[in-house]
């Protein structure tokens, strides 16, 4: 492959000319495996990935909240956002997600308001019940309680964010007495709120109840694909019940990919870390909705490719996957988020992001259509204009010779 040429692949035939541009981002739990890593350097690399995404032109980055398991060391996504915001310029930064039942909603809203000012309106709030049962167990919350707790706490949170009237409430997890915010938000009326969803309808219900956005995590996993259209149907139905509206532009799908210059290179790259990633989902994190099958690298690769759970290949396969998700969503969505992982070595991981930014993002944002058309227009008249240019040069050279000889 010559320098400056695109990697293997390419979209042939008719281009996708949908009217609305997709947005793109990265969803960073993060996953650092195996769990014998340097946490200081691991967190620094998470910062550097966001800086790279910002430089490339990604729209968003989201960061998880986890407190156990060893692989996901960001315990406070708001704190991480405050740190990385000062080291980026354009990219919007979201909590992916705040596990709301673990917190007092008053302090979540209070910190969000301050963070909204510090980031000059680049912050977004993702909410969920908590992904790891081992996290919830340490503060005495049973998995059976989490989704009901999320609905109750989200209602309190949204009241605090949208009303100047104080609220008093007592739950098994906290007590509020005439509580209200002292600080207005930077964004009007407040930062965007999105609810996380994997399989259950709790996230879509929450989004519909409050007219919020939706984060469909693991959208390309079998469980995620099976319920993809249902997610939005539930959100719309619930919004109608509650007198709210939801907008597909605020629906984000999270999927797994690793891209390289060739298919063969991509498959070779993931031999570095795919096994550890899949083993973690199988044997450490208690999320049965997102469990791979297999026990060896080759078996995990077969699972990823045969089920469509992930793209391991070239940018044209990434484009095909996103177009397939547009169809499965039964009406489209607003943003695609790359699920960040460490399947490949650091250099190959950065190359994956660069390929996605160079070839996938402009395909859907349509920011290179005029450039490509301009090249085609120039090619169509090249021979004719080249002949005229040569004739003009020859005529001027002859004129110069005549003048020089007189």
For the residues of 325-394, what is the DSSP string, one character each? HHHHTTS--SEEEEE---SS-HHHHHHHHHHIIIIIHHHHHTTTHHHHHHHHHHHHHHHHHHHHHHHHHH
Which two three-digit tokens encode residue 127? Answer: 């909410």
Burial annotation 45-71 (CB, 10 A radius, 16+ → b, else e): bbeebbbbbbeeebbbbbbbbbbbbeb
How sure is the predictor about 227, in pLDDT bands with cuts at 50, 70 and 90?
Answer: confident
Does residue 337 have a pLDDT over 80? yes
Instruction: Give the pLDDT mean for 311-338.
Output: 96
Q: What is the pLDDT of residues 256-305, one digit of tens each?
A: 999 999 999 999 999 999 999 999 999 998 777 778 999 999 999 999 99
Q: What is the pLDDT of residues 149-170, one digit of tens each?
A: 999 999 999 999 999 999 999 9
Instruction: Give the pLDDT mean for 111-122.
Output: 98
For the residues of 308-323, what is the DSSP string, one character each? TSEEEE-HHHHHHHHH
Instruction: Give the pLDDT mean for 296-316.
Output: 95
Q: Which of these ranges, 11-25, 56-70, 209-223, 347-361, has the smallest mean pLDDT?
A: 11-25
Q: In the 3-class helix/strand/coil scheme, how is 81-98 assigned residue by residue?
A: HHHHHCCCCCCEEEEEEE
How sure is the predictor about 325, in pLDDT bands with cuts at 50, 70 and 90?
Answer: very high
Output the pTM of the full model.
0.92
Q: How far apart are CA 62 and CA 105, in angstroms?
A: 20
Task: Report helix angle 77-85 to 39-56, nearest 10.
Answer: 60
SS3 for 231? Answer: helix
Domain 23-367 maps to which CATH number in 3.40.50.970, 3.40.50.300, 2.40.50.140, 3.20.20.30?
Answer: 3.20.20.30
Does residue 8 have a pLDDT over 70? no
Average pLDDT of the residues of the chain: 92
pLDDT for position 229: 78
CB 268 within 8 A of CB 279: no
Does residue 21 have a pLDDT over 70? yes
Instruction: Give the pLDDT mean for 198-203.
Output: 86
Does residue 7 have a pLDDT over 80? no
Does residue 15 have a pLDDT over 80? no
- Bigger pLDDT: 14 vs 271: 271
pLDDT for position 76: 98
Q: What percent of the chain shows pLDDT beyond 90?
A: 85
Q: How far apart are CA 250 and CA 23, in angstroms?
A: 10
Does residue 37 have a pLDDT over 60? yes
CB 86 within 8 A of CB 94: no
Q: Write down the domain spans for the chain.
A: 23-367, 369-406
Instruction: Give the pLDDT mean for 316-325.
Output: 96
Does residue 13 have a pLDDT over 60? no
pLDDT for position 94: 98
């Amino acid at each position: 492959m010559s320098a400056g040429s695109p990697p293997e692949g390419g979209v042939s035939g008719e281009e996708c000319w949908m009217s609305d541009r997709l947005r793109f981002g990265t969803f960073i739990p993060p996953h650092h495996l195996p769990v014998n890593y340097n946490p200081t350097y691991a967190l620094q690399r998470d910062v550097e990935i966001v800086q790279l995404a910002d430089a490339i032109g990604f729209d968003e980055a989201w960061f998880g909240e986890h407190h156990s398991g060893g692989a996901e060391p960001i315990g406070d996504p708001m704190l991480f956002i405050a740190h990385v915001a000062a080291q980026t310029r354009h990219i919007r930064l979201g909590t992916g997600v705040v596990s709301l039942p673990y917190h007092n909603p008053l302090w979540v809203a209070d910190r969000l308001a301050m963070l909204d000012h510090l980031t000059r309106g680049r912050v977004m709030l993702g909410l969920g019940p908590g992904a790891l049962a081992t996290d919830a167990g340490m503060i005495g919350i049973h998995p059976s309680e989490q989704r009901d707790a999320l609905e109750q706490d989200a209602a309190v949170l949204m009241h605090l964010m949208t009303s100047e009237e104080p609220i008093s409430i007592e739950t098994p997890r906290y007590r509020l007495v005439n509580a209200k915010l002292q600080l207005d938000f930077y964004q009007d009326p407040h930062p965007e709120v999105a609810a996380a969803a994997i399989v259950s309808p709790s996230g879509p219900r929450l989004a519909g109840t409050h007219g919020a956005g939706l984060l469909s995590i693991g959208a390309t996993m079998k469980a995620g694909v099976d319920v993809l259209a249902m997610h939005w149907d539930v959100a719309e139905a619930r919004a109608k019940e509650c007198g709210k509206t939801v907008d597909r532009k605020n629906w984000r799908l999270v999927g797994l990919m690793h891209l390289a210059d060739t298919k063969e290179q991509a498959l070779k790259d993931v031999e570095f870390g795919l096994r550890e990633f899949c083993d973690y989902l199988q044997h450490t994190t208690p999320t049965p909705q997102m469990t791979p099958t297999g026990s060896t690298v080759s078996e995990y690769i077969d699972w990823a490719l045969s089920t469509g759970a992930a793209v391991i290949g070239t940018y044209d396969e990434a484009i095909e996957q996103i177009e397939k998700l547009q169809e499965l969503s039964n009406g489209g969505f607003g943003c695609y988020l790359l699920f960040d992982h460490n399947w490949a070595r650091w250099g190959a991981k950065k190359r994956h992001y660069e390929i996605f930014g160079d070839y996938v993002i402009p395909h859907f944002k349509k920011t290179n259509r005029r450039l490509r058309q301009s090249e085609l227009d120039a090619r169509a008249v090249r021979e004719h204009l080249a002949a005229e240019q040569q004739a003009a040069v020859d005529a001027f050279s002859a004129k110069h010779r005549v003048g020089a000889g007189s």
